[in-house]
Amino acid sequence: MPDGGGRVPAVDRQDILPGTRWHHPESRDSRQRYYSCRVAISNERIVWIDCEMTGLSLEDDALIEVAVLVTDDQLNVLGDGVDVVIKPADAALEQMNAFVRNMHTSSGLLEELPGGTTMEDAQKQVLDYIKRWVPEPGKAPLAGNSVGTDRTFLVRDMPELVEHLHYRVVDVSTIKELARRWYPRAYFQAPPKTGNHRALGDIQDSIDELRYYRGAVFVSGSGPTSDEARQVATAIVENRTGAGPSSPATSAASPAADDGES
């Protein structure tokens, strides 16, 4: 990682398996079984969604625009994506505060709302696109910036969509916050946002932001060897958060063997 100490040295990755998983020193068969299992869980696809709302209240505000892009594990966009405007109830528009109203006026979204579609049709369009690239439910995580907020509105208004996704999320804002603390020079050089508070532009910004942090902050190349990763894991186990100075160190489990649901 740039600008930091304790950097894992670059190594010759002759032993890496295809994809993103580390090589295992065990038999070839066990490695292949493990890798096949992990691919089945993640499908190597990421579903990127951004939402525009009339506000942040689940009781009073409406979901008015949803955009979705699916990427592969290298952040390449698959297909054309979907960007759909949803016509809200008059009550949701009437109670918008001045800041939100000005934002949606400047972006041009407000004037598109009278011609928006229904929530049912919007969910169908979004799901049809996602299922083209992620046909099986529960395989791909939801991704975006501060995506937890978007997810709460999707749970309320597009439950079938949420059910199709994996419960894990990839929140680029988390990476940004960590970079601000640990790699401030990388944080301050991040490319500017250009989405202008429209769902499709914002989600394209999110993908580009993760591409940036991957290149600027994450370990370059294929990452550490298994032995190097085990050394880091052992150091963590021997100095666990909350453990007293006399607490015995437990044996480190191989990260590759972790198939839990955390």
Residue 80 backbone phi and psi in degrees, to 5: -95, -15
Which residue, 42, 77, 22, 12, is CA-closest to 232? Answer: 22
CB 104 within 8 A of CB 86: no
Tokens 């370059």 locate to: 220
User: How far is CA 8 from each of CA 111, 158, 255, 258, rounded to the nearest angstrom?
Assistant: 52, 43, 17, 22
Who contacts 174 (Cβ-Cβ below 8 Å, separation ≥6)?
A: none
**Would you give the end-to-end CA distance of the chain in angstroms?**
25
SS (H, E, C) 88-136: CCHHHHHCCCHHHHHHHHHHCHHHHHHHCECHHHHHHHHHHHHHHHCCC
Query: Which of 167, 183, 187, 212 does the annotation list as catalytic?
Result: 167
213 is catalytic: no
| Catalytic center residues | 167
